Homo-oligomer: A and B are copies of this chain.
Amino acid sequence: MSKPSNRDKILKAGMTVVLERGYMGASVRDIVQAAGVPQGSFTNHFTSKEAFAIEVLDLYYAESAEIVARSLKNPDLAPLERIRAYIRENKERLQREGVRNGCLYGNLSAEAVDHSELIRLRLAEIFAGAQDAVEDCLKAAVADGSAPADLDTARTAAFCVSALQGAILLAKVKRDTVPVDQFEQILFSSVLRG
Protein backbone atom coordinates (compact mmCIF):
# COMPACT_ATOMS: atom_id res chain seq x y z
CA MET A 1 0.00 0.00 0.00
CA SER A 2 1.22 3.48 -0.78
CA LYS A 3 1.77 5.99 2.01
CA PRO A 4 -1.29 8.17 2.67
CA SER A 5 -0.85 11.65 1.25
CA ASN A 6 -1.19 14.74 3.42
CA ARG A 7 -4.48 15.31 1.63
CA ASP A 8 -5.79 11.90 2.76
CA LYS A 9 -4.50 12.47 6.28
CA ILE A 10 -6.27 15.83 6.50
CA LEU A 11 -9.55 14.34 5.28
CA LYS A 12 -9.45 11.30 7.54
CA ALA A 13 -8.42 13.16 10.71
CA GLY A 14 -10.57 16.13 9.71
CA MET A 15 -13.69 13.98 9.49
CA THR A 16 -13.20 12.92 13.11
CA VAL A 17 -12.51 16.50 14.23
CA VAL A 18 -15.66 17.78 12.47
CA LEU A 19 -17.71 14.95 14.01
CA GLU A 20 -16.40 15.75 17.48
CA ARG A 21 -16.30 19.55 17.38
CA GLY A 22 -18.70 20.52 14.58
CA TYR A 23 -18.13 22.42 11.37
CA MET A 24 -17.74 25.84 12.94
CA GLY A 25 -16.01 24.43 16.04
CA ALA A 26 -13.27 22.66 14.05
CA SER A 27 -10.55 25.16 13.19
CA VAL A 28 -8.03 24.58 10.41
CA ARG A 29 -5.42 24.49 13.16
CA ASP A 30 -7.31 21.68 14.98
CA ILE A 31 -7.56 19.75 11.73
CA VAL A 32 -3.90 19.95 10.68
CA GLN A 33 -2.79 19.17 14.24
CA ALA A 34 -4.98 16.06 14.32
CA ALA A 35 -3.66 15.05 10.90
CA GLY A 36 -0.04 15.65 11.93
CA VAL A 37 0.72 17.76 8.85
CA PRO A 38 2.04 21.34 8.47
CA GLN A 39 -0.58 24.12 8.64
CA GLY A 40 0.18 25.13 5.03
CA SER A 41 -0.95 21.70 3.78
CA PHE A 42 -4.59 22.60 4.30
CA THR A 43 -4.58 25.53 1.90
CA ASN A 44 -2.43 23.55 -0.56
CA HIS A 45 -5.18 20.95 -0.84
CA PHE A 46 -8.45 22.75 -0.14
CA THR A 47 -9.58 26.09 -1.52
CA SER A 48 -11.83 26.74 1.50
CA LYS A 49 -13.24 25.15 4.63
CA GLU A 50 -16.49 24.68 2.69
CA ALA A 51 -14.67 22.73 -0.05
CA PHE A 52 -13.02 20.65 2.68
CA ALA A 53 -16.41 19.97 4.31
CA ILE A 54 -17.84 18.71 1.02
CA GLU A 55 -14.96 16.24 0.75
CA VAL A 56 -15.41 15.20 4.37
CA LEU A 57 -19.06 14.52 3.54
CA ASP A 58 -17.96 12.39 0.58
CA LEU A 59 -15.63 10.39 2.82
CA TYR A 60 -18.36 9.86 5.44
CA TYR A 61 -20.71 8.89 2.63
CA ALA A 62 -18.24 6.26 1.40
CA GLU A 63 -18.08 4.79 4.92
CA SER A 64 -21.86 4.91 5.25
CA ALA A 65 -22.17 3.13 1.90
CA GLU A 66 -20.72 0.03 3.59
CA ILE A 67 -23.50 0.18 6.19
CA VAL A 68 -26.08 0.58 3.42
CA ALA A 69 -24.60 -2.38 1.51
CA ARG A 70 -24.86 -4.59 4.61
CA SER A 71 -28.42 -3.47 5.37
CA LEU A 72 -30.73 -1.59 2.98
CA LYS A 73 -29.11 -3.15 -0.10
CA ASN A 74 -28.44 -6.60 1.33
CA PRO A 75 -30.23 -9.16 -0.89
CA ASP A 76 -29.74 -11.88 1.75
CA LEU A 77 -32.20 -10.15 4.11
CA ALA A 78 -35.99 -9.95 3.81
CA PRO A 79 -37.08 -6.42 2.79
CA LEU A 80 -38.22 -5.19 6.21
CA GLU A 81 -35.23 -6.83 7.88
CA ARG A 82 -33.00 -4.64 5.70
CA ILE A 83 -34.54 -1.56 7.30
CA ARG A 84 -34.18 -3.06 10.76
CA ALA A 85 -30.52 -3.85 10.05
CA TYR A 86 -29.98 -0.26 8.88
CA ILE A 87 -31.38 1.16 12.11
CA ARG A 88 -29.26 -1.25 14.17
CA GLU A 89 -26.10 -0.43 12.21
CA ASN A 90 -26.70 3.24 12.97
CA LYS A 91 -27.23 2.41 16.62
CA GLU A 92 -24.03 0.38 16.77
CA ARG A 93 -22.08 3.22 15.20
CA LEU A 94 -23.36 5.51 17.96
CA GLN A 95 -22.41 2.97 20.61
CA ARG A 96 -18.88 2.60 19.25
CA GLU A 97 -18.42 6.34 19.84
CA GLY A 98 -19.89 6.38 23.36
CA VAL A 99 -23.13 7.89 21.98
CA ARG A 100 -21.28 11.12 21.34
CA ASN A 101 -20.79 12.82 17.96
CA GLY A 102 -24.09 11.66 16.44
CA CYS A 103 -24.43 11.52 12.66
CA LEU A 104 -22.33 13.85 10.52
CA TYR A 105 -25.29 14.41 8.19
CA GLY A 106 -27.54 15.48 11.06
CA ASN A 107 -24.86 17.63 12.66
CA LEU A 108 -24.13 19.51 9.46
CA SER A 109 -27.87 19.85 8.81
CA ALA A 110 -28.27 21.59 12.14
CA GLU A 111 -25.14 23.67 11.94
CA ALA A 112 -23.92 24.31 8.43
CA VAL A 113 -26.83 24.52 5.98
CA ASP A 114 -27.47 28.20 6.69
CA HIS A 115 -23.75 28.93 6.20
CA SER A 116 -23.26 27.02 2.95
CA GLU A 117 -25.66 26.36 0.11
CA LEU A 118 -23.22 23.77 -1.30
CA ILE A 119 -23.36 21.77 1.93
CA ARG A 120 -27.14 22.11 2.12
CA LEU A 121 -27.62 20.79 -1.43
CA ARG A 122 -25.20 17.92 -0.88
CA LEU A 123 -27.02 16.91 2.32
CA ALA A 124 -30.40 17.10 0.56
CA GLU A 125 -29.03 14.79 -2.12
CA ILE A 126 -27.63 12.33 0.46
CA PHE A 127 -30.92 12.21 2.38
CA ALA A 128 -32.83 11.72 -0.88
CA GLY A 129 -30.55 8.77 -1.68
CA ALA A 130 -31.21 7.22 1.74
CA GLN A 131 -34.93 7.77 1.26
CA ASP A 132 -34.81 6.00 -2.13
CA ALA A 133 -32.95 3.03 -0.65
CA VAL A 134 -35.52 2.73 2.18
CA GLU A 135 -38.36 3.07 -0.32
CA ASP A 136 -36.96 0.21 -2.42
CA CYS A 137 -37.17 -2.01 0.68
CA LEU A 138 -40.72 -0.85 1.40
CA LYS A 139 -41.84 -1.53 -2.18
CA ALA A 140 -40.33 -5.02 -2.00
CA ALA A 141 -42.12 -5.56 1.34
CA VAL A 142 -45.45 -4.48 -0.16
CA ALA A 143 -44.81 -6.79 -3.14
CA ASP A 144 -44.12 -9.84 -0.95
CA GLY A 145 -46.98 -9.04 1.44
CA SER A 146 -44.83 -8.27 4.49
CA ALA A 147 -46.02 -4.63 4.47
CA PRO A 148 -49.60 -3.42 3.93
CA ALA A 149 -50.68 -3.13 0.28
CA ASP A 150 -51.85 0.45 0.81
CA LEU A 151 -48.61 1.69 2.44
CA ASP A 152 -47.55 5.08 1.10
CA THR A 153 -43.96 3.99 0.46
CA ALA A 154 -42.58 7.43 -0.48
CA ARG A 155 -44.00 9.14 2.60
CA THR A 156 -43.02 6.29 4.90
CA ALA A 157 -39.47 6.25 3.54
CA ALA A 158 -39.11 10.01 4.04
CA PHE A 159 -40.46 9.59 7.57
CA CYS A 160 -37.95 6.78 8.31
CA VAL A 161 -35.04 8.99 7.30
CA SER A 162 -36.14 12.01 9.32
CA ALA A 163 -37.32 10.05 12.38
CA LEU A 164 -34.00 8.18 12.50
CA GLN A 165 -32.14 11.51 12.44
CA GLY A 166 -34.31 12.75 15.31
CA ALA A 167 -33.68 9.57 17.28
CA ILE A 168 -29.91 9.93 16.77
CA LEU A 169 -30.11 13.56 17.90
CA LEU A 170 -31.98 12.68 21.10
CA ALA A 171 -29.59 9.76 21.71
CA LYS A 172 -26.72 12.24 21.58
CA VAL A 173 -28.42 14.46 24.16
CA LYS A 174 -29.22 11.54 26.48
CA ARG A 175 -25.90 9.70 25.79
CA ASP A 176 -28.11 6.65 25.43
CA THR A 177 -29.37 4.87 22.32
CA VAL A 178 -32.85 4.24 23.74
CA PRO A 179 -34.46 6.83 21.38
CA VAL A 180 -33.24 4.72 18.44
CA ASP A 181 -34.80 1.60 19.99
CA GLN A 182 -38.07 3.47 20.56
CA PHE A 183 -38.17 4.58 16.94
CA GLU A 184 -37.50 1.02 15.76
CA GLN A 185 -40.24 -0.37 18.02
CA ILE A 186 -42.84 2.12 16.84
CA LEU A 187 -41.86 1.73 13.21
CA PHE A 188 -42.24 -2.05 13.24
CA SER A 189 -45.09 -2.43 15.72
CA SER A 190 -47.25 0.28 14.20
CA VAL A 191 -46.19 2.22 11.09
CA LEU A 192 -45.26 -0.84 9.01
CA ARG A 193 -48.14 -2.97 10.27
CA GLY A 194 -50.76 -0.69 8.73
Chain B CB within 8 A of A85 CB? no
* B159 contacts A182, C-beta separation under 8 Å: yes
* A173 contacts B114, C-beta separation under 8 Å: no
Q: Find the B residue at minimum CB distance from A121.
A: B173
Chain B positions within 8 Å of A159 at CB level: 163, 179, 182-183, 186
Chain B positions within 8 Å of A164 at CB level: 166
* A166 contacts B162, C-beta separation under 8 Å: yes
Chain B positions within 8 Å of A111 at CB level: 22, 24-25, 107, 110-111
A87 to B109, CA, bound (A): 20
* A109 contacts B21, C-beta separation under 8 Å: no
Chain B: minimal CB distance from A87 (Å)? 13
- Per-residue 0/1 for A90-114: is the Cβ within 8 Å of any B Cβ (1 yes, 0 no)? 0000000000111000110111011
Classify the secondary structure of A's interface with B.
helix
Chain B positions within 8 Å of A13 at CB level: none
Would A155 and B186 be within 8 Å (CB), given that A166-B166, A173-B127 are in contact?
yes
Q: Find the B residue at minimum CB distance from A156.
A: B186
Chain B CB within 8 A of A44 CB? no
Chain B positions within 8 Å of A109 at CB level: 110, 169-170, 172-173
Would A114 and B101 be within 8 Å (CB), given that A109-B169, A158-B182, A172-B109 are in contact?
yes
